């Protein structure tokens, strides 16, 4: 997948995970209320279950992405970053020399 689209894909995955789990559990709750005649009870219970399942799904999704990112090696430095690193190292060496004098 293109690196520029990864954040957008993550937002979609998180949103769909929450919406689908909530709507599916809400539909089950409404259906059960109609069958059992327990008007708001099953809907409320299954709504809470849907939010919980969605939150767990989002947590697992983000945890797996964090784990994947931790295993991935750091990208190579570009010219600008390399120049900044060398500049910092040069500044630190000059400070050490001044302190020794």
Question: What is residue 27's predicted lDDT score, i.e. its pLDDT?
Answer: 97
User: Given this model, what pLDDT does residue 85 score?
Assistant: 74
Side-chain-side CA neighbours of 32 within 13 Å: the count stands at 14
Q: What is the pLDDT of residue 37?
A: 94
Q: CA 8, 13, 41 angle in degrees (round to 5)?
A: 140
pTM, to two decimals: 0.69
Say what the pLDDT of residue 5 is.
86
7: phi then psi, degrees, rounded to nearest 5: -60, -40
What pLDDT is stored for residue 73 in this prediction? 82
Domain boundaries, the chain: 22-69
pLDDT at residue 16 in the model: 96
d(CA 69, CA 7): 13
- pLDDT tens for the chain, 101 residues long, are 566 788 898 899 999 999 999 999 999 999 999 999 999 999 999 999 999 999 999 999 999 989 988 888 876 766 777 767 777 776 666 666 666 65
């Amino acid at each position: 997948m293109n690196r520029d689209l990864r954040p957008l894909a993550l937002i979609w995955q998180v949103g769909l995970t929450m919406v689908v789990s909530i709507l599916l559990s809400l539909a089950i709750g409404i259906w059960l209320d109609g069958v059992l005649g327990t008007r708001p009870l099953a809907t409320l219970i299954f709504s809470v279950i849907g939010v919980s399942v969605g939150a767990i799904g989002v947590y697992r999704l983000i945890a797996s992405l964090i784990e994947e990112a931790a295993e991935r090696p750091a990208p190579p430095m570009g010219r600008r970053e390399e120049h900044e690193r060398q500049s910092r190292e040069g500044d630190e060496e000059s400070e050490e020399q001044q302190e020794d004098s």
